[in-house]
Amino acid sequence: ARHQLDRIGQHKELGAFVAIDEDLTVAQARAADDKLAAGNAAALTGVPIAHKDIFVTTGLPTSAGSQILAGYRSPFDATVVRRLAEAGAVTLGKLSCDEFAMGSSNENVAVPAVGFDEAVPVRNPWDRERIPGGSSGGSAAAVAARLAPAATGTDTGGSIRQPASFCGVTGIKPTYGRASRYGMVAFASSLDQAGPMARSAEDCALLLSAMCGPDPDRDSTSLDRPAEDFTRRLGDSLEGLRIGVPKEFLGDGVAPGVRAVVEAALAEYEKLGARRVEITLPRTELSIPVYYIIAAAEASSNLSRFDGVKFGHRAKDYRDLADMYAKTREEGFGDEVKRRIMIGTYVLSHGYYDAYYLQAQKVRRMIADDFQQAFRQCDLIAGPAAPTVAWKIGEHGGDPVADYLADIFTLPGSLAGLPGMSIPAGFDGGMPVGLQLLGNYCEESRLLNAAHRFQ
């Protein structure tokens, strides 16, 4: 923990952390030492871990990257945070993310990073002029720069897999419902999932085993399946494993250097005994409009709780209650968040609901069915996590659609609720390229083993 705190202090320029409390970390580490000395260790005793600032924590403030929650302290810990603490992990601090996890670049952050007076985009440790990906950009950058051996992230439409890919780390989003959403500041509740980001599939398996498990009293969508030891299949042979490669994932929009890395990874899998199967996910392109309708709709509803009454920021000068709501939200939310609330409110409104929201729900079901069709022919699906490597900070020039389009390969799996990972597979022009692996429901062990064998 001491070593990690020192490194965090030495690399503030990355903007990865938004909150640290050295005394808290050291106290937890001392307690872990005592447990080890007493022969009373749990699976992760003493392992330092940092949390995406979307998980509420009692020991440190939680902002979700937003001014509306600046300085907020939760009276309880998120289930994922609590479970990791019970497994012995030591908290290193809170990590920067896009505001309410809305973003693909960690440029939509509205709270200052540690060592700064103002909000700054997180920098990619491989090239500080580039984004780390998002929305779990702080998590990916911290692990890549060795500021933390592991971090938590959340993935609604790719926010674990895409930053893992851009920063050359391993990340897994489990099946929807595996990890409790209790205490994760809600973005799009039918999509949000927590998962670990670390240096290897093996580390991710250990962390995920601690993070998952039913939480029926607190998250009604948590799966009624006992906690699992996700390390149990690590080392299994890949002989005969059928890896499906969707033709839509290697089309024209993919950078040649990214395609080359993915092709080389697939060849490596064939050497390990796997068989490549050509498949199709015909509605891949539709996942972009479908996701950005459904996620915005759910966000507009979830974010209605930030009204200046119960918690967080409240505007100073207002005439009446309605004016207080309006000014609080005007001041507290950033541009991207407002854009999503407006789109979401629009697609849910009378007269547009059927045309947009309902239609999107129907196509979402078809996308999920396409995967089930594909899994008749293969055991896992592989492709790029993103069409390119990390782009330059400011390169998309504030054009949100450019960011949305770059999510094309992570959104289908999210809409279907499937488990997915990104593992470091090579480089394009000096920047890391991740291989995305998708599995069928609750096949995390198979995914993690395939990643482990590759590494």
Assess 419 for contact with ligand GLN (CB under 6 A): no
Nearer to ligand GLN, 135 or 440 (CB): 135
- Sheet with 431-439, strands from edge to edge, namely 17-19, 90-95, 48-52, 150-155, 193-198, 170-173, 420-428, 431-439, 380-384, 242-246, 275-279
Instruction: Give 62 or 449: the residue with its C-beta nearer to ligand GLN.
Output: 62
Confirm or reject binding of residue 295 to ligand GLN (CB under 6 A). Answer: yes
Dihedral pair phi/psi, residue 213, rounded to 5°: 130, 155
Query: In whole angstroms, how close is the CB of 121 to ligand GLN at the nearest point?
Result: 15
CB of 213 to ligand GLN, least distance (A): 22
Length reported for the chain: 455
Q: Is the CB of 386 or the CB of 435 nearer to ligand GLN? A: 386
170-173/150-155 β-pairing: unpaired
Q: Output the smallest distance, CB 347 to ligand GLN, in A.
A: 15
Verify binding: residue 107, ligand GLN, rule CB under 6 A: no
Q: Which is nearer to ligand GLN, 103 or 413 (CB)?
A: 103
We find the least distance from the C-beta atom of residue 104 to ligand GLN, in angstroms, to be 4
Binding ligand GLN (rule: CB under 6 A), the pick from 88, 103, 332, 383 is 103
**Please, how many CA atoms are within 13 Å of residue 145, restricted to the half-sphere of its CB?**
30
Q: Of residues 32, 64, 101, 254, which one binds ligand GLN by CB under 6 A?
A: 101
Q: Using the rule CB under 6 A, is 65 a contact of ligand GLN?
A: no
SS3 353: helix
Closest to ligand GLN by CB, 107 vs 155, is: 155
∠ CA 179-306-55, rounded to 5°: 25
444's enclosing H/E stretch is helix 444-454
**Closer to ligand GLN at the Cβ: 48 or 171?**
171
Instruction: Report which residue's Cβ sits closest to ligand GLN.
Output: 159
Strand partners, 19: 94
Minimum distance, C-beta of residue 116 to ligand GLN, in the bound complex (Å): 23
Angle at 248 between CA 246 and CA 251, to 5 degrees: 120
CB 337 to ligand GLN: min, Å: 10
**# residues contacting ligand GLN (CB under 6 A):** 13
102 part of the interface to ligand GLN, by CB under 6 A: yes
Could you tell me if 389 and 162 are in contact, meaning their C-beta atoms sit under 8 angstroms apart?
no
Residue 300 falls in the annotated catalytic set: no
Active site residue 414: no
- For residue 89, what are its two tokens? 């992990």
Task: State which residue, 134 or 213, has the beta carbon closest to ligand GLN.
Answer: 134
Q: Which of 66, 96, 104, 135 is catalytic?
A: 135
CB atoms within 10 A of CB 361: 14
Chain center to CA of 139: 9
Tell me, residue by residue from 123 to 162, as one string, x for binding to ligand GLN by CB under 6 A and - for no binding: ------------x-------------------xxxxx---
74 versus 106: smaller Cβ distance to ligand GLN: 106
Residue identified by tokens 């851009």 is: 166
Query: Please, what is the minimum distance in Å from the beta carbon of residue 59 to ligand GLN?
Result: 24
**Distances, alpha carbon 306 to alpha carbons 103, 301, 327, 333, in Å:** 19, 10, 12, 9
Cα distance between residue 198 and residue 200, in whole Å: 6
Figure out which of the listed residues 53, 77, 99, 407 binds ligand GLN, where binding follows CB under 6 A: 407
Task: Mark whether 136 is an active-site residue.
Answer: no
- State the DSSP string of 129-173: TB---SSSHHHHHHHHTTS-SEEEEEESSSTTHHHHHHHT-EEEE
A 10 A CB-CB count for 271 gives 8
- The residue ranges that bind ligand GLN (CB under 6 A) are 101-104, 135, 155-159, 187, 295, 407
Catalytic residues: 52, 135, 159
